[in-house]
Amino acid sequence: MKILKTILPCAALIFFSTSAYSECPCKSAPSAITQESLTNEVANTTGEFSVPFGFIAVGTERDPKLNLPKRIKHVGTGYELILVSGGEYWMGSPEGMGMNDEHPQHKVRLSPFWIGKTEVTYRHFNSAPLPRQMLQRGRDDYPVTNLEWSDADRWCKLSGMRLPTEAEWELSSRGLSGRRYPWGNTWRSTAGNFTGRVRIVGKFSRGASSYGILDLAGNALEWCSDFYDENYYSSSQISNPKGPANGSRHVIRGEGLGADILNGYGITSRSFGYGDYKSELVGFRAAVSPWKKN
């Protein structure tokens, strides 16, 4: 039995308690992001897509086909994202592997997107223009957790980003070749934080996916944008699927506890949480799509 699916419907710690979630000491509006602060990234991008306003390139490496920077950073929060160039891959598990909700394995075609190099941390979260902050002394570089899905969704939207779809999350983890784990097809206990407690993000470079994305297996589990339906794979659309149209549960992905991986499951494992679910083991990472030029 998958441990997380057993615990997800349970009640958790209170998000709006004064010990964890308190008034921001300064409620003044954040400084406006100026065009100067963004350099000329958007203006200089050529091709079909461009970098969204509010982001700058990190380094000089670009995708040769899309002519988009492989790494970008959100100016307001400092959150770094890595380009996934999209394409077709087989989502889910083949027959004889995985759980029932990972079947049938089906073809998915995704447009390019950027996704967080790591989970969103307390430092990133508290840098956004929110009326309240998550205060955790000495944990600035830990994944921000104990959030309802709506809190993660709100942070993303206020920061000009969004939660990744489940299909985007899985492609970021497996790559187009369909790896069993982000780093390859062989289990590696040193590739992530599988202790059952969250740690500082980005410390396990050996666990990077083919795109260079970290902590997809290990550390916090992560909310996705999709509603959860155990039978959705039977009716999923091929192009940029966004999950069921409605529902009462949202998808949670990742192997933060490590329990599913140790029991033989790969990164295709799916879990869920109800609307008011919160856990010290569940956080999120953000994504953003390129602007498409007219």
* Tens digits of residue pLDDT in 133-155: 777 778 999 999 999 999 999 99
**Whole-prediction pTM value?**
0.84
In contact, 75 and 55? CB cutoff 8 Å: yes
- The 3-state DSSP composition of the chain as helix, strand, coil percent (nearest 5) reads 15, 20, 60
Vertex 44 angle, CA 40 and 47, to 5°: 150
d(CA 4, CA 24): 33
Q: Which of 84-98, 142-156, 167-181, 244-258 has the lowest mean pLDDT?
A: 244-258
Residues in the chain: 294
Average pLDDT over residues 68-73: 98
Structure-derived torsion over alpha carbons of residues 214, 218, 222, 227, reported in degrees to the nearest 10: 110
Report the CATH number of the 3-22+34-292 domain.
3.90.1580.10
Instruction: With a cut of 80, say whether residue 50 has pLDDT above it.
Output: yes
Average pLDDT over residues 260-287: 85
Beta strands 113-116 and 287-288, pairing class:
antiparallel
Instruction: With a cut of 50, say whether residue 5 has pLDDT above it.
Output: no
Confidence band for 131, pLDDT divided at 50, 70 and 90? low
Average pLDDT over residues 176-189: 91
Residue 129 has a pLDDT of: 78
Average pLDDT over residues 242-249: 97
Residue 264 has a pLDDT of: 52
Q: What is residue 157's three-state secondary structure?
A: helix
d(CA 177, CA 171): 9
The 10 Å Cβ neighbour count of residue 204 is: 21
Average pLDDT over residues 191-199: 90
Residue 151 has a pLDDT of: 94
Q: What percent of the chain has pLDDT over 90?
A: 69
Name the average pLDDT for the chain. Answer: 83
Using the CB atoms, write b or e for 241-265: b if 16+ within 10 Å: bebbeebebbbbbbbbbbebbeeeb
Gap between the terminal Cα atoms of the chain = 49
d(CA 189, CA 202): 16
